[in-house]
Every structure is written in C-alpha cells, then in structure tokens.
Amino acid sequence: MKRRIYMDNHATTPLDPRVLEAMLPYFQEEFGNAASRNHEYGWEAEQAVDRSREIAADLIGGKAKEIIWLSGATESDNVAIKGIVEFYKDKGNHIITTSTEHKAILDTCKSLERKKLARVTYLPVDTQGRVDPSQVREAITDDTILISVMLANNEIGTIQPLAEIGKIAKEKGVFFHTDATQGFGKIPIDVNEMGIDLLSASAHKIYGPKGVGLLWVRSRGPRVRLTAQMDGGGHERGMRSGTLNVTGIVGFAKAIEIAKTEMVEENARILALRERLNDKILSDLDEVYLNGHPTERLAGNLNLSFAYIEGESMLMGLNGSASPDLAAIAVSSGSACTSATLEPSYVLKALGVGDELAHTSIRFGLGRFNTEEEVDYVADRVISEVKRLRELSPLYEMAKEGIDLKDYFAGASH
Ligand SMILES: *Cc1c(COP(=O)(O)O)cnc(C)c1O
C-alpha cells in the first residue's frame, strides 16, 4: 500500500488502540442500555457511563453530575448557546463571542439572530488571533446573558486568555461558555480558576471515537439552567434525551484518562516536532509567514503562509493526487476547509491576513502518532513543492527583482 502521513490532527485524530480496547466489551457482552433500570445489563452500562463522568469531570475540576453526554462538540455548542438563550430570555438576549470561533458557534449565533432570538457581538481578534479581555468587558450590557470564547483555535492554534475573561464574566454576573474542543486534554483546564460556567468538548479530537462529546454545565456558584433542545425520555437530567452512546462514552473517558496522564510529556514531544518542522522549512525557504501566536498556541499547530504559491496547488502536490509514486501527506489549507468554493479562511481574514496570503496558507496538525522521520519527510516535500511552484510564479520572480508588491500583502500585518 502507498505510504500515507497524517498531519491533520485538528480535523480529527486516529483512535488510540488503548481506547479501542476499552470500548470493545461495550459493543459485545456489555451492550446494555444505560437507562434500563431493571437488570444487570442496564446497571453495568450505567456504571460505565457514570465512571466516565467522574473521569471527564476530574480533568477540568468539575463534578461528575455536571457532565452531559451528547454527539459531539457541534451539538454541545448548540445545546449550550440555544439552551441559555431560551431559558434566560426574560433576563436578556445579548451574546458576546469572537469572529474566529468554530462554525458550530458562529452559525448557531447567526441562526439565533435570524430568528430574532438573540443579538450577537462578534469581537475582533488581534493579528495573532487573541481577543482583548477589556473589549469583552466593554461589550457587556444589561442584556448580556452569555459570553462564548473558544479555548484554542482549530486553524491557527491560538490560545485565548480565558481566565481573564472568566474573571470579568464573574464580576458582571454573565455566564461564560467555552468551546474547549481543541485544547481539552492537551492543555490544563480548571473551570473554577478560569471562571467557566459551560464547556464543550469532543472525543475524536483527542484520539477517541467520532460521534461523542460532552457539555459540562456548572451546577453551583452560579447554577446554570438550560432549556433542552431534544425532547424525549429525559436522559441526562432532562437536558439531552436519547439513549446514551455507551461505547463512545467509555472510549471518550479512556481517551481523557490517557490525555491527562501523558499531557505534559506529550506536549513536550509534539512541540519539539513542530519546532523541527518549522525550523527545517524556514532554513530553506524565504517569504514564509507564521499565522497565529508565536507562543500562546497549541503545541501541535503550525500554520504557515508560503507567499506566492496557491495553498490548493500545494495541497495537490502533497496529498498524492498529482504524484502517485510519492507518499500521500494529509494537511489542510487555509482556503479549503470552510467551503467548496475557494474562500480564504475567515479566521486568517480576522487576523488581518490579506486574501492573497491567506490563500497560500497550510495548516500542519501534529499529533500523538507523528514521528521525527515523518516530520523530516514532510519538510523536504514542502520545501521542494514550494520551490517548484515558485519557479512557475511570475509574482515570486517580480518580488525577487525588487518590484514592490505591497498590493499583494494588502491587509497583512506581519
Ligand atoms: C472539531 C471542532 C468542533 C466540532 O466537533 P464535532 O465533535 O466534530 O462536532 C467544534 N469546535 C471546535 C473548536 C472544533 O475543533
């Protein structure tokens, strides 16, 4: 089989074999419905689900009963935001979020705006992708019921100053939700220290199975109430009806357990891989720009703009579709992931990166199973691909001849 290298760990991650092993019994002998109260099959399933709750809550400093299981981070974001807006509609209808959130947040907000159920402030971010906490403070009005800011960005890896925002939210008595999907299990989270009231996460971003996620909802200090978005059997304390995905939940918990135990060591290893990749590329290519924050970023995220080449052409050169004899490398481009049309990434746009440069960006997402050998191979392929494409690029030639291309970099701030 053709060799493949997976370096797109922000999109999803491979299942850790230890997670699969933990899940297997729950597909077979322990197949019970966690809501069956009358027999051992049900009790065993319920016990497994409740043990998983303990493990998940323990990672973030919450309580087991505050965990709601659901189908993933998209559902979790929807349940949190819509649930708050509906429950607290008599208190206010204003939401504060940022322009670089995941679509699960942005489209949920857009939908509420369209239905005239909420007014939303989308705060800008700086050139490195961070929101300014003082702008959050200034945006709060008497009508504000919710602040939603992600922990770490899925495209550029930038980590937001959640503790500072949480402090402001507490001071002003506004609920604080975070889509923690990219940072959960990768960087330490303490919901109490960070002033978080609701937190969303997903198993498949941390080497767990697809189709299972969680919403943590604070029960005291303050107690957060939600209107359920799914009607049915009243599972999960009425907040999310539907038979629980027991195998998925057990797998998610195992993934969390591993993440917690190995976090420090793994972060150091992945950071070293990222630096190796970055250093190799930068030592051989000019006109390469880092997108996102130089230090406040996920260890596994490297988002680079390679001026004067099209990210899409670069992807074709790397993903094997144009070179059947070479290894297929899986990475993402800043223009591909949001839609079928070649819109530049809205995240890069929000940083002030111009359309031209945004189109040249590649997101490398390093993860648990990447090796030094893979990093070296990918760096070499990237370097030769960029050199090849730049040889074909009249713009690159013009730049080298000293012709001023400031229009090309219009809007770019770095
Ligand atoms: C992947 C991701 C989601 C969506 O998660 P699913 O479980 O696939 O629905 C939401 N937010 C962020 C930041 C993500 O990275």
Ligand 1 contacts (CB < 6 A) are 72-74, 102, 104, 150, 154, 179, 181-182, 202, 205, 213
Distances (CA, A) of 190 to 101, 121, 363: 21, 26, 28
pLDDT for residue 335: 64
Cβ partners under 8 Å of residue 196, min gap 6: 162, 166, 176, 177, 178, 189, 218
CA–CA distances in Å: residue 144 to residues 150, 172, 229, 304, 347: 18, 9, 21, 37, 25
When pLDDT is averaged across residues 253-282 and rounded to a whole number, the result is 98
Best residue for ligand 1 mutational test, from 78, 107, 109, 179 (most atoms within 8 Å of Cβ): 179
Q: What is the pLDDT of residues 13-31, one digit of tens each?
A: 999 999 999 999 999 999 9
Task: State the catalytic residue, choosing from 64, 337, 395, 398.
Answer: 337
Q: Judge contact between 67 and 94, C-beta under 8 A.
A: no
* pLDDT for the residue numbered 49: 98
Amino acid occupying residue 212: V
Burial readout 159-195 (b: 16 or more C-beta within 10 A, e: otherwise): bbbbebbbbbbbeeebbbbbbbbbbbbbeebebeebb
Rounded distance from Cα 187 to ligand 1 centre (Å): 16
H helices of 216-284, in order, are 246-284
pLDDT digits (tens, 9 = 90+) for 180-220: 999 999 999 999 999 999 999 999 999 999 999 999 999 99
> Confidence band (pLDDT; 50, 70, 90) for 414?
very low
Are the C-beta atoms of 72 and 121 separated by less than 8 Å?
no
> Which has more pLDDT, 175 or 311?
175
Atom of ligand 1 nearest to the CA of 72: 7
pLDDT above 70 coverage of the chain, percent: 96
pLDDT in the model for residue 14:
98
- CA-CA distance, 128 to 131, in Å (whole number)? 9
Other Cβ atoms within 10 Å of 254 Cβ, number: 23
pTM of the prediction? 0.95
Q: What is the pLDDT of residue 405?
A: 75
Res. 408 pLDDT band, cuts 50 70 90: confident
Here the tokens at position 142 are 């008497």
Q: Map out the domains of the chain as residue ranges.
A: 4-10+263-412, 17-258
CATH code 3.40.640.10 for 17-258: yes
- 335 CA → ligand 1 middle, Å: 18
144 pLDDT above the threshold of 70: yes
d(CA 369, CA 9): 10
Specify the ligand 1 atom closest to the Cα of 153. 13
Mutation to probe ligand 1, out of 77, 97, 181, 198 (largest number of atoms < 8 A from CB): 181
Taking CA atoms only, the protein residue closest to ligand 1 atom 14 is 181
pLDDT at 337: 45
Q: 283 C-alpha to center of ligand 1: Å?
A: 34
**What percentage of the chain reaches a pLDDT higher than 90?**
86
* Ligand 1 atom 7 nearest Cα: 72
- pLDDT exceeds cutoff 60 at 411: no
Would you give the distance in Å from CA 396 to the centre of its chain? 34
Q: Is the pLDDT of residue 403 over 90?
A: no
The pLDDT score that the predictor gives to residue 410 is: 63
109 is catalytic: no
Mean pLDDT, rounded, for 85-92: 98
Question: Higher-confidence residue: 248 or 316?
Answer: 248
Q: From the CA of 353, how far away is ligand 1's center (Å)?
A: 24
Cα dihedral 22, 23, 24, 25 sign: positive
**Nearest CA-CA partner of 389 in 315, 291, 321:** 315
CA of 218 to the centre of ligand 1 (A): 21
Residue range 4-10+263-412, CATH number: 3.90.1150.10
- Which distant-in-sequence residues (6+ apart) come within 8 Å of 194 by Cβ? 162, 163, 166, 178
Pocket test residue of 10, 153, 205, 338 for ligand 1, highest count of atoms within 8 A of CB = 205
Ligand 1 midpoint to CA 156 (Å): 14
Kindly indicate the confidence band of residue 1, based on its pLDDT and cuts at 50, 70 and 90. low
Give residue-wise pLDDT tens across range 333-360.
876 544 456 788 999 999 999 988 999 9
Shortest-distance Cα residue to atom 5 of ligand 1 = 73
Kindly give the number of the ligand 1 atom that is closest to the alpha carbon of 154: 15
Residue of the CA atom closest to atom 9 of ligand 1: 74
For the CA of 150, the closest atom of ligand 1 is: 13
Confidence at 222, pLDDT banded by 50, 70, 90: very high
Ligand 1: centre distance to CA 350 (Å): 19
